Amino acid sequence: MFMGKKLPAKPLQNSEASRGRILAAALAEFSAYGLAGARVERIAKTAQCNKNLIYIYFENKETLFTTVLEKHLARIYKDVAFSADDLPGYASRVFDFAMANPDLMRLMAWFALEQRTISPAIHAETHSSKLTELADAQKAGKFGTAFSPAFLLNAIKALATSWAAANPFGLDLEDASDPGTVRSDILEAVRLLATAKARKR
């Protein structure tokens, strides 16, 4: 067996490792400070790389923010499966993900504040597909017609993320016993919303 010196890492491996450290450092920075408050110098220091390397890989701070956001939006949409046939189940998955990923929830909050200049295509496409699926399910009589698909989707996400770290009202699980109780209450609230009949105007 050859027992010579360990071969040095290939340039591509070094490049991927550096890019990965930058993205991880950028997530922490952007979730704490948003796009406007984030500093490339801090990201470079945390990632243990030269600041110029960030500009080589990502061109500018806004592109880096968008890259981080798109990466984690893709993860959210993959891990939090949506089905118009099970809206309480979707709400439960959103709740669990939000509670387990405070940094990502803060990043999403910054996105909501700064999306006038940053709007990843995956966000618009996924949102549109959910609304279409909800509208089709509603027409098929799978749930009530009291609320529009857009209202239902926003209400479900708002309920499911109300106890997340980025909630502006600072809700606390201590206010509602424990995560299991909160989850059960959210599921019941979503069930009631989804089954509500059309109201007389």
Per-residue pLDDT for 164 more than 60?
yes
137, two tokens: 């399910």
Enter the tokens of residue 2. Answer: 């050859």
Q: What is the per-residue pLDDT for 125?
A: 78
Q: Tell me: the pLDDT tens digits for 150-161?
A: 999 999 999 999
Q: Is the pLDDT of residue 162 over 70?
A: yes
pLDDT at residue 113 in the model: 81
Average pLDDT over residues 40-49: 94
How does pLDDT run across 93-133, given as a tens digit for each residue?
Answer: 999 999 888 888 898 888 888 765 555 666 777 888 999 99
The DSSP 8-state label assigned to residue 49 in this structure reads S
Count of CB atoms situated within 10 Å of the CB of 76: 18
Asked if residue 178 has pLDDT above 90, the reply is no
End-to-end, the C-alpha distance of the chain in Å comes to: 83
Class of domain 11-68: mainly alpha
Say whether pLDDT at 34 is over 80: yes
What does the domain layout of the chain look like in residue ranges?
A: 11-68, 80-201
> How many Cα atoms occupy the beta-carbon half-sphere of 168 within 13 Å?
6
Whether domain 80-201 has CATH 1.10.357.10 = yes
pLDDT of residue 115: 63
Segment of 32-36, 39-43, 73-77 carrying the highest mean pLDDT: 39-43
Q: Cα separation of 159 and 154, whole Å? A: 9
